[in-house]
Structure 1
Amino acid sequence: MLKTAFKPKWLLALLAALLLATGFVALSGWQFGSSETEPPVKIDKTEKAVPLVGHHNVGVELMGNKADQIVTMSGSFVKGTDEMIAPRLHDGQKGVWVVSEFMVDGAPDDASIAVVRGWQPEATKPSEVPSGKLEITGRLMPSEGPENEHDLRSPTLATLSSAQLSNTWDNTVYSGFIVAHDMKTARGDQVKQAGIDTVYVGPQPQEAQTNWLNVFYGIEWVVFAGFALFLWYRMVRDDYQRDMEQIAEQAAAQARKNAAEEPGGQDSSHA
């Protein structure tokens, strides 16, 4: 069979099968490499506070590489802009987030941003927003989808949508919102809000996520590579078997011819 495999046509076929298998293996490697997704931004970067102005632009959708970042900003709350988002969990208990409009110093177009001031257990009127200039540190989060059918009789909103709040507040609002972790006055004094608990949102999970569909495709490409080589082997083996059958037929024909030509072959047949 080795002699058959060294026929020029099968050597060329082997080269083609190897090239094809190499391509399949390369595709398999790409699929396996794409099966694990890393977080958009590493935790060592997101936990270092940066100014909001400069990190995120007004009128631009908050992308994954900008979200989840600890940011700082200065400015002041706008009175009468409180909204409550429900239901929201805090230490395993259902309640509401208290969200207020915050005018950001240095923001273009006098833009504001939605700030989660904290959590309270009931959807009752929250305490007044802290007055004066404030320094806020918190996590920048992507906006949630707007509520399609809001019941105007409900005191709460189901989602925290910056687009929806922009219409409510009638102002230019940053995409996304900030969950305030720390709130201080311009003099550095800690701000306390009656009846409102501070909400802390940790960084997003940093574990690589496995896409099993990509893993399945990767295995498929390996199978295809093996099949290309197997197909070449089967064709060589079939050719070898045909050669063997042809040789056997030629040998049998030659044996019959030799038997017919042997002296006395006719007499023995008549006997």
Structure 2
Amino acid sequence: MYRFLLTPRWWGINVLALLAVPFCVFMGSWQLSRFEARVQEHRTATVQAASNRTGAARPLDRLLPVDQRTSGKRATATGRYDRQLLVPDRELDGRRGFYVLTLLRTGSGKALPVVRGWLPGTADPAKAPAPPRGEVTVTGALQASETPGDNGVGGQGGLPAGQTGAISAASLVNLVPYGVYDAWITLDRGDSGMRAVPATAPDNSGLDLKAFQNLGYTGEWFVFAGFVVFMWFRLVRREAEYLRDAELGLVPDAGRAEEATAEAGTPTGV
């Protein structure tokens, strides 16, 4: 009854099923491993964030370039404040406001963007306290340059003079005649009565939408594997029932019955 499985047509179906099932299982396992890796990264980032808040501050140059290992660590730098900019449309505790960003000219000849604090309301230069004069030493959490679209960073353009949409060396270097570090810090304590801006976790270190997409893809691939097996058994059953009916003369199309039984290698007697 099942000799039809050895026909050329069924050889193709069988090989396709044998290849599809392991492939789906492999892809599902890979997506699951990506989700587990993100869970582990989230745990590591949580532990690191707690450690960073109490860890001793280190000189800025020892923590560069910023990566997942150094992001959030307390850094210190010495210099003189220079140009001040506002970063509009930033939320803190559910309230909309703006960051006060001041460039710190260091002894290296480059400037370090320093977020001195957050203020509520619409970005207004008159609300932003002037930076301290003279040489200062700042201490805060080290952060990587922002990318529009990440961590709530807007990608708006056409901002008024004295504002920037993202704290990014690529954009800030066009506003000043000197180099800018590809990093920034947010002060441990807000300056001049402003609220301190908490450090954000580095990219791809939390249980974000991408992580749960990996988990969803895991389920999809395993469902695909089960669907392939289900369809294979269903096709086999339908073929076997058709050939059995053909042998019993229950198939109205005699020509098709004879062709199907001949293909399966069984006699056509009724």
Pairing 1:83-122 to 2, within 5 Å after superposition: 83-103=85-105, 110-121=109-120
Question: Which residue of structure 2 lines up, in the alignment, with residue 169 of structure 1?
Answer: 176
Give the counterpart letter for 2:103 in structure 1.
E
Question: Which residue of structure 1 lines up, in the alignment, with residue 151 of structure 2?
Answer: none
In the TM superposition, residue 147 of structure 1 has moved relative to its aligned partner by: 5.0
1:164 is paired with a residue whose SS is: helix
2: CA distance between counterparts of 1:216 and 1:151? Answer: 48
In the TM superposition, residue 99 of structure 1 has moved relative to its aligned partner by: 0.6
> CA 1:225 to 1:250, structure 2 compared with 1: closer, same or farther past 3 Å?
closer
Question: Which residue of structure 1 lines up, in the alignment, with residue 227 of structure 2?
Answer: 223
Give the counterpart letter for 1:56 in structure 2.
L
Contact 1:112/1:173, CA 8 A, preserved across alignment: yes
2: CA distance between counterparts of 1:156 and 1:110? Answer: 23
Contact 1:20/1:225, CA 8 A, preserved across alignment: no
Question: Which residue of structure 1 lines up, in the alignment, with residue 195 of structure 2?
Answer: 197
In the TM superposition, residue 9 of structure 1 has moved relative to its aligned partner by: 1.9
Which TM-score applies when normalising by structure 2? 0.64
Structure 1 counterpart of 2:81, from 78, 99, 104:
78
- For the pair shown, the structure with the greater C-alpha radius of gyration is 1
Pairing 1:34-183 to 2, within 5 Å after superposition: 36=35, 38=38, 42-43=44-45, 44-49=47-52, 51=58, 52-57=60-65, 65=68, 68-79=71-82, 81-103=83-105, 110-121=109-120, 123=124, 124=126, 125-129=128-132, 131-145=134-148, 148-152=157-161, 155-182=162-189
Give the counterpart letter for 1:77 in structure 2.
R
Gaps of 5+ in 1: 183-191, 252-271
1: CA distance between counterparts of 2:218 and 2:3? Answer: 37
2: CA distance between counterparts of 1:163 and 1:29? Answer: 39
2: CA distance between counterparts of 1:91 and 1:7? Answer: 68
In the TM superposition, residue 217 of structure 1 has moved relative to its aligned partner by: 3.8
Question: Which residue of structure 1 lines up, in the alignment, with residue 253 of structure 2?
Answer: none
Equivalenced residue count is 228
In the TM superposition, residue 240 of structure 1 has moved relative to its aligned partner by: 3.5
Gaps of 5+ in 2: 149-154, 250-257, 259-265
2: CA distance between counterparts of 1:67 and 1:228? Answer: 52
Question: Which residue of structure 2 lines up, in the alignment, with residue 29 of structure 1?
Answer: 28
1:168 is paired with a residue whose SS is: coil
More displaced stretch, 197-206 vs 165-174 = 197-206
Contact 1:28/1:221, CA 8 A, preserved across alignment: no
Question: Which residue of structure 2 lines up, in the alignment, with residue 9 of structure 1?
Answer: 6
2: CA distance between counterparts of 1:249 and 1:228? Answer: 26
Contact 1:83/1:100, CA 8 A, preserved across alignment: yes
2:226 is paired with a residue whose SS is: helix
2: CA distance between counterparts of 1:249 and 1:203? Answer: 72
> CA 1:18 to 1:86, structure 2 compared with 1: closer, same or farther past 3 Å?
closer
RMSD: 4.0
Give the counterpart letter for 2:245 in structure 1.
Q
2: CA distance between counterparts of 1:227 and 1:202? Answer: 48
> CA 1:93 to 1:213, structure 2 compared with 1: closer, same or farther past 3 Å?
closer
2: CA distance between counterparts of 1:16 and 1:121? Answer: 65
Question: Which residue of structure 2 lines up, in the alignment, with residue 257 of structure 1?
Answer: none
What are the superposed Cα offsets for residues 79-113 of structure 1, whole Å, 9 maximum, x if unpaired?
3x1111113333444332111112456xxx64332
